[in-house]
Amino acid sequence: MLVVVLFVAGAGLVAAAPVPVWSTPQRYLMGALNLLRLHSMDRDRVDWPRAEAEALRRAADVRTPAGTYSMIRQVIAELGNPHTRLVGPASARAPLPASIDVPRSYASHGVAVVRVPGLVADPAGERRYVAAGVAALQAVEGQARCGWVVDLRDDTGGNMWPMLTVLAPLLGDGVAGSFTGPGVAPMTWSVRDGRALLGGSALAAETNPVQLTRPRPPIAVLTSKLTVSSGEATLVAFRGMPGVETFGAPTGGAASGNEVVKLSDGAELLITSLVDVDRTGRVYGNVPIEPDRPVPPADAEAVAAQWVRAQGRCD
């Protein structure tokens, strides 16, 4: 059985549904190409009759699904979207929950710093990530008399919804952004009562109970070229907020949403079908997001903390 799972911004489960079994490698190949043709936002770039005929010709003697990967990747290359890709079974397996990196924090001279890494994990790993993030905010919230630094320099993407859950107290209740794409009605991201929502549905099982002592504090967000995919979606959630400035280097340039198809052999097909939109209506995509204040990434934290303190809200 092959299962189709819709994710956004690299990950974040929306829906899952079984589809017919592909009984031969050639059917596997054509099924994968059909999914790309139906769901890729770049589908109009490909001459599908030609691409499918060429892929089938090359796959005539293939005996396993893995033998079709090169044909699938050739068509992905024609789509021209670096966020769309085929991931082999070994790379598609979620790491052990105990091995994932989790959010951490510290405070210095009135500024609380929370580091938010990327997240690829199973539900147990997601729970560990959110629990660590909640604990990280709780540990420094009382010391954030000047404001906050949110460090996304190592947020390499994955599942955006636990990231937004961890940062929900800083984002505050309300619309944080949205997705849009060809022929797709806009899908709004929001925060309510410590929970991250897509439309009206919670996309993470966990909530964040932390309440800020000082609402609407100054927030500096740090980025680098490693900030990509869901890391960029997390950045976009802060864009347009009053009292927020971004520091560092341009992001990796994949501020778009993927549908993730779990294939029968354990491989995953990540199909870019949406782009990120911030709360002001600015549309992003596969172009790096420039920071408000360009700073070498190694210096960004110190410069950002200085900016936070300079906002004059440390009383």
> Please, which contacts does 191-194 make with residues 24 or more away whose CB atoms are closer than 8 Å?
191/164, 194/165, 194/168, 194/169
Q: Are residues 214 and 113 in the same domain?
A: yes
**Number of domains composing the chain:** 2
Alpha-carbon span 277 to 179, nearest angstrom = 6
Which pLDDT belongs to residue 7? Answer: 45
**Residue 262 included in any domain:** no
Q: Which two tokens stand for residue 292?
A: 């408000």
Residue 5 has pLDDT above 90, yes or no: no
Q: Are 153 and 301 within one domain?
A: yes
Residues 201, 182 share a domain: yes
Co-location of 146 and 290 in the same domain:
yes
pLDDT of residue 204: 83
- State the angle between helix axes of 69-79 and 25-39 in degrees (0 to 180), rounded to the nearest 10: 20
- The answer on 146 and 285 residing in a single domain is yes
CATH of the domain at 238: 3.90.226.10
Question: Per the domain annotation, does 261 fall within a domain?
Answer: no
Exposure string over 223-250, b if 16+ CB within 10 A, otherwise e: bbebbbbbbbbbbbbbbebeebbbbbbe
pLDDT on residue 91: 86
CA 243 to chain centre: 23
Is the same domain home to 178 and 233? yes
- Tell me, yes or no, whether 265 lies in a domain: no
CATH at residue 77: 3.30.750.44
Residues 45 and 145 in one domain: no
Which pLDDT does position 13 carry in this prediction? 36
Based on the fold, state whether residues 105 and 88 are members of the same structural domain. Answer: no
- Residue 285, domain member (yes or no): yes
Give the whole-angstrom CA distance, residue 219 versus residue 22. Answer: 50
The whole-angstrom separation of Cα 295 and Cα 272 is: 30
The rounded percent of the chain whose pLDDT value lies above 90 is 80
d(CA 135, CA 130): 8
Same domain, yes or no: 305 and 187: yes
Query: 52 in a domain, yes or no?
Result: yes
Reported as a single tens digit per residue, the pLDDT across 103-112 is: 999 999 999 9
Q: How many CB atoms lie within 10 A of CB 38?
A: 11
The token duo for 9 is 């911004």
Bridge partners of residue 190, in order along the sequence: 175, 197
DSSP 83: T
| Mean pLDDT in residue range 14-43 | 78
Structure tokens at 74: 């050739």
Residues 83 and 47 in one domain: yes
The range of the structural domain enclosing residue 84 comes to 2-92
For residue 38, is pLDDT > 60?
yes
Residues 269 and 263: beta-carbon distance below 8 Å: yes
Q: What are 87's two structure tokens?
A: 């991931």
**Which is nearest to 144 in space by CA: 78, 84, 211?**
211
DSSP 8-state symbol, 292: S
Looking at the fold, whether 78 and 102 belong to one and the same domain comes out as no
CB 227 within 8 A of CB 221: no
What pLDDT score was predicted for residue 12? 36
- Establish if 263 belongs to a structural domain: no
- Each residue of 126-142: pLDDT tens digit? 999 999 999 999 999 99
Which tens digits make up the pLDDT trace of 47-81?
A: 999 999 999 999 999 999 999 999 999 999 999 99
- Please tell me the distance from the alpha carbon of residue 97 to that of residue 90, in angstroms, as a whole number: 16
Please identify, among 92, 119, 149, the residue that sits at the C-terminal boundary of a domain: 92
257-313 pLDDT, tens per residue? 998 888 988 899 999 999 999 999 999 999 999 999 999 989 999 999 999 999 977
Boundary residue ending a domain (37, 72, 92): 92
pLDDT(232) > 90: yes
Q: pTM of the prediction?
A: 0.91
> Within a domain: residue 299?
yes
Average pLDDT, the chain: 90
Return the higher-pLDDT residue of 90 and 150: 150
Write down the pLDDT at residue 130.
97
The contacts of residue 113 (CB under 8 Å, 6+ apart) are 105, 106, 107, 140, 148, 149, 151, 301, 305
Q: Is position 267 within any domain?
A: no
Does 137 share its domain with 56?
Answer: no
User: How sure is the predictor about 22, in pLDDT bands with cuts at 50, 70 and 90?
Assistant: low
Domain boundary among 92, 123, 139: 92
